[in-house]
Chains A and B, each alone.
Chain A
Amino acid sequence: MSRQAGFLFNIVKYRALFLMLVVPAAVLIFNNYIPMFGLVVAFKNYNYIGGILGSPWEGIDNFKFLFQTEDAWVATRNTVLYNPLFIVLNTVCAILLAIALNELRSRKLAKVFQSSLLFPYFLSFVAVSYLAYAFLGGYGFINKSILEPLGLPAVSWYTKPGYWTVILPLVNLWKNVGYGMVVYLAAIVGIDQEYYEAAVIDGASKWKQIWKITIPLIVPVIIVLVILQIGRIFNADFGLFYQVPLNTGVLTPTTSVIDTFVYRSLLISGNVGMSAAASFYQSVVGFVLVLLTNFIVRRTSPENALF
């Protein structure tokens, strides 16, 4: 039987299974694969009449314009500075909280605390932007209920970019640490109790147990979660950087990231060429980072590599 005949034979024999995946596959092709090819628009002088295919080629002019703007560099700098900070901060806090939560004597209290800490994860960033505003606005809680009673002058948070290098990591931690904590907690309670029983017999202190048993045993989970985040280092959480600062122009030196830059160039300035170039740059560099991270992990601990 020739290869083509084999292919046809397979399709016919398993036609029901292939039929099942036709619609979901079509959705993936439309939503994910066609846009990948649509990236060529970065090398075109896009017009709405010609569309992606019909617009004339333009070489790398879009990229020249892109990298001439200071904004693109600021956005890149912010993206690659915030994301590693978020990864370290969130991972360390989530692990510490998971270990602590697991040690609490009262299971009931632990459940209550877990529910409370996970709650912010359920909110959208639009909701979070309102909550942040309640604290940071002109009449907000911080100005009126904390600074004023202390005799300190009110701070205009939404006009001072410097503060946002602290506000954004805190808001991000607040929203996401509960999720990380739950995941690490699952890994910790999965550790075989015999390790700890043996350690207690040997007289190991709590600290020793945490450092020598708990942490080493959850390292595989940490690695998987961190690799996935490193792979996304070039993608910022759009809602956090756009919505929480309420899309305020003066804050962009510390709140602009590649995602917000692309969004603003495309939907506010209507500059398809430049935003396409930025989108292309983000996709390709992001992809290279995923491959690179996976390569390094594969070199150092192959069992933890993603592929």
Chain B
Amino acid sequence: MNAHIESHTSAAGKARKRKANPSVTSNGLSRTANALLVALFALLSLACIYPVLLVIAVSFTDEQSIVTYGYQIIPKQFSLFAYRYLFEDAAQIYRSYGVSIAVTLIGTVGSLLLTSLLAFPLSRRDMPYRNVLAFGVFFTMLFSGGLVPWYLIYNDAGLNNTLWALIIPHLVAPFNVIIMRTFFTNTIPVSLIESAKIDGAGEFKIFARIVMPLSLPVMATIGLFQTLAYWNDWFTSSVFISDNKLVSLQYLMYKTIYNIQYLNSGMVDANVAGSASAAIPVETVRMAMAIVGIGPIVFVYPFLQKYFVRGLTVGAVKG
């Protein structure tokens, strides 16, 4: 396991070097081949972005024009009605934003702290039983009890309808522990820890004053992975949350797609729906809900993706 991580980490290191001095020009693609590839990638990129653009467009379209012309990328008749409808009673939306933000913040900070507190002792060559302990972490990636016992145990512990049920599941991810331990092993010189000890520093002081400041890159990477994991999690909510006060944003989106469908039950098809659905702007409100939910991700993606890619190529290569 370790060998893989180390070898690929060094591969990524070389990658950076290579970008600095571009490859020999004689081996470049022909102009035609290059143009074809650019066209292909442009199409694929469009395929990845287009669905979101479509949803944005529909959310700003008049419901009646959707019923007549279907989902279109340029609104036939512009309308803010869907958003007005959605924000008429926006208490739940604000509430859900609050829940998602709280869970993501507490969860990410908590998991950075706990992951590093577990990874640091495991990275120490002098730590007794480190191999047994490391295997204990790794084993949870190989074998799991599955949904049922997990659900029953959370239930027995009284975690139903608490924020803890949303936080604890992602708190210590074994994979993150392994990435972080590898990082500590590779970047924190043993001699540094030794000399701090000689100067009389305790382990907690070493951890806080030496290890943490040197570990910002890996913290950023894992912090990003965790932010995404917490923010996008709707599954845990669907298992443990029934209290409306604790409905996260993703879970609200999950409920809305079914609830509106429920209002419209039996008329999901255009053929059957006819004019009955015109009263409630089902289609456009649904898409407006999607935008309210996806919005934050779309907004931060351009800023974060760079760090995410860096994290993937340094840490995650060996999965």
Contacts and interface: CB of A to CB of B under 8 A. Distances in A.
A276 B41 contact: no
Interface string A1-43: 0000000001100101110110111011011111111110110
B302 interface: yes
Given A24-B114, A31-B172, A279 B138 contact: no
B49 A119 contact: yes
Contacts of A145: 70-72
Contacts of B254: 126, 243
A291 B142 CA distance: 9
B38 interface: yes
Contacts of A179: 312
A144 B70 contact: yes
Given A104-B34, A123-B297, A190-B14, A24 B118 contact: yes
Nearest to B129: A10
A34 B93 CA distance: 36
Contacts, number: 353
How many residues of A sit at the interface, in one of the four size bands?
Answer: 35 or more
Interface stretch (A67-75, A77-85, A129-137, A161-169): A129-137
A57 to B, nearest CB: 16
A35 B26 CA distance: 59
Interface string A144-179: 110010000010101100000000000000100011
Interface string B16-46: 0011000110111100011001101110111
Nearest to B58: A134
A96 to B, nearest CB: 10
Contact of A138 (B8, B168, B273): B273
Interface residue SS majority, chain B: helix
B302 A115 contact: yes
Given A141-B70, A287-B143, A23 B286 contact: no
A296 interface: no
Interface residue SS majority, chain A: helix
B15 A113 contact: no
Interface string B141-177: 0111111111111001100000000001101101001
Contact of B203 (A17, A51, A105): A17
A156 B267 CA distance: 11
Contacts of B67: 139
Contacts of B273: 138
A20 B150 contact: no
Given A100-B40, A134-B55, A239-B235, A144 B118 contact: no
Interface string A108-121: 01001111111110
Contacts of A186: 8, 11-12, 15, 312-313, 317
Given A38-B152, A145-B71, A246-B261, A123 B143 contact: no
Contacts of B10: 190
Interface in B85-124: 114-115, 117-118, 120-122, 124
Nearest to A42: B148
B114 A23 contact: yes
B117 A21 contact: yes
6 contacts: A39-B146, A126-B234, A129-B257, A138-B273, A143-B70, A145-B71
Interface of A: 10-11, 14, 16-18, 20-21, 23-25, 27-28, 30-39, 41-42, 46, 51-52, 97, 100-101, 103-107, 109, 112-120, 122-127, 129-135, 137-141, 143-145, 148, 154, 156, 158-159, 174, 178-179, 182-183, 185-187, 189-190, 192-193, 196-197, 200, 206, 209, 220-221, 224-225, 228, 231, 238-239, 243, 246-247, 259, 262-263, 266-267, 272, 275-276, 278-280, 282-283, 286-287, 290-291, 303-304, 306-307
Interface of B: 1, 3-4, 7-8, 10-15, 18-19, 23-24, 26-29, 33-34, 37-38, 40-42, 44-49, 51-52, 54-55, 58, 66-67, 69-73, 114-115, 117-118, 120-122, 124, 126-129, 133, 136-138, 140, 142-153, 156-157, 168-169, 171-172, 174, 177, 202-204, 207, 228, 231-235, 238-239, 250-251, 253-254, 257-258, 261, 268-273, 283, 286-287, 289-290, 293-294, 297, 301-302, 305, 308-309, 312-313, 316-319
Given A30-B168, A31-B150, A118-B308, 4 more contacts: A113-B45, A114-B309, A119-B48, A220-B7
